Chain A
Amino acid sequence: MAQISASVFTSHVPAIGAALDLGKTGEDYWKPVFAGYDFAKQWEKEQKPDVVFLVFNDHATAFSLDMIPTFAIGTAAEYQPADEGWGPRPVPKVIGHPKLAAHIAQSVIQDDFDLTIVNKMDVDHGLTVPLSLVFGQVDAWPCPVIPFAVNVVQYPVPSGRRCFMLGKAIRKAIESYDEPLNVQIWGTGGMSHQLQGPRAGLINREWDNAFLDKLINDPDGLSKVPHIDYVREAGSEGIELVMWLIARGAMSDVNETKKGNAPTVRHRFYHVPASNTAVGHLILENN
């Protein structure tokens, strides 16, 4: 049986990818950001996940306004880094896990969540920056990745509640897979930021840290926070944080049928700024 061993949460700022790719990680501005991921890099070497289920949002890259899936699961064998307007990032291609992804799609759709199945897409910084932050600059990513894209660009976007419930359905799907795989689920995007209009640059440290507290201790309560609170308090693009509730919902302590113990907080990090945003990062291990 496949098991979810841990959840990893991180921002996915494009400028972080640019800093890595252009060799700026030693600059004073970037040092504290990358230092926040030293623990994750070491920890991943010990954890050796077989598969990462990576929840992210596409930033008008694979999905234009021609089609806007609310939830899309990648079932392809591989994914190329996208050209977002300045050429593709010089990072390895992403190897998928088509068999597990198809199994999850089958299970989750039968559990009443409407997923779009994607057999071809390029992946943007939303997916590749978290991989770089956590696995470092490598010649090949250490394990297959199942991309799971969430629409947080065009409103209405899915509620925190729906994301949390979806996480539960994903956990159930993964645990019903016959091979003994060590699966990690990552929630990416956020924390507070606004990229548009005269209010651009909004950062709310207090709200972000309260979000992290509740994500750890009261995810059910957190899942009931309405969208408008994210917009008002964390900026229009702070809405990306709903994706963290998918990863959190997949943890065993919120499993209704076979409840596990509270997760262990292995690492917590928060920093302002990276470009226009706050950076948040959290690692929870299942118990």
Chain B
Amino acid sequence: MSLDKPYTDVPGTTIFDADMSRMGYHLNQFCMSLMKAENRARFKANERAYLDEWPMSEEQKQAVLDRDLNRCISLGGNIYFLAKIGATDGKSFQQMAGSMTGMTEEQYRDMMVKGGRSVEGNRYTGEKK
């Protein structure tokens, strides 16, 4: 019998469940390591070499190098963990969130100031706006 996962039809959303956690364990633990200043310095000095210290998949490493957060999430990354990469880069949480939406930083910020993304048309995949 399959487990109940009612959250698979929410558009543009990946729920970080036990399966994603299993897949993203090393990616997310790499992110955690960036909570130490000396590790941030080592990562910045040579990103590739630092990533190679972690048993991550090549796809995961490339997604980090590309700062492609959507790709990171599809490979098991969780946004609260991935936020440590943004913090290391000196990015705000808003810049990070905005980077996943296909909008420019300014467009995203303006959308938030105007009240945020509407839920209308955004509850179910394939829903008409």
Question: Chain A: residues with CB nearer than 8 A to chain B?
Answer: 14-15, 18, 29, 59-61, 64-66, 68, 82-87, 153-156, 192, 194-205, 207, 226-228, 231-233, 236-237, 272-273, 275-276, 278
B11 touches A198 (CB 8 A): yes
The reply on B70 being an interface residue by CB < 8 A is yes
B17 touches A156 (CB 8 A): yes
Count contacts on B: residues with CB < 8 A to the other chain.
Answer: 57
The reply on B36 being an interface residue by CB < 8 A is yes
The reply on B64 being an interface residue by CB < 8 A is no
Determine, out of B45-53, B55-63, B109-117, the stretch whose residues face the partner at the interface: B109-117
For window 111-125 of B, CB contacts with A under 8 Å fall at 111-113, 115-119, 122-124
CA distance A66 to B29 in the complex (A): 8
Given pairs A200-B117, A275-B92, 10 additional interface contacts (CB within 8 A): A60-B84, A68-B21, A84-B84, A85-B35, A194-B97, A195-B97, A201-B111, A202-B118, A226-B6, A233-B123
Q: Given A59-B80, A153-B16, A201–B119 Cβ distance below 8 Å?
A: no
B97 touches A276 (CB 8 A): yes
> What is the interface of chain A mostly: helix, strand, loop, or mixed?
loop
Q: Given A84-B35, A155-B16, A231-B15, A15–B116 Cβ distance below 8 Å?
A: no
Residues of B within 8 Å of A198, CB to CB, are 11-12, 70, 100-102
- Report, nearest first, the 6 A-B pairs whose CB atoms are least far apart: A203-B116, A85-B87, A199-B12, A198-B12, A155-B17, A196-B79
CA distance A82 to B35 in the complex (A): 9
B14 touches A196 (CB 8 A): yes
A86 touches B112 (CB 8 A): no
The reply on B10 being an interface residue by CB < 8 A is yes
A197 touches B13 (CB 8 A): yes
Q: Which of B13, B37, B88 contacts A196 (CB 8 A)?
A: B13
A60 touches B32 (CB 8 A): yes
Residues of A within 8 Å of B115, CB to CB, are 203, 205, 272-273
B116 touches A153 (CB 8 A): no
B100 touches A65 (CB 8 A): no
CB distance from B115 to the nearest CB of A (A): 5
9 interchain pairs (CB within 8 A)?
Answer: A59-B83, A60-B84, A83-B35, A85-B40, A194-B13, A199-B12, A200-B97, A275-B93, A278-B116
CB distance from B125 to the nearest CB of A (A): 10
CA distance A85 to B84 in the complex (A): 5
Residues of A within 8 Å of B25, CB to CB, are 65
CA distance A231 to B9 in the complex (A): 11
Q: Given A155-B15, A155-B17, A231-B7, A196–B97 Cβ distance below 8 Å?
A: yes
Residues of A within 8 Å of B93, CB to CB, are 14-15, 195, 275-276
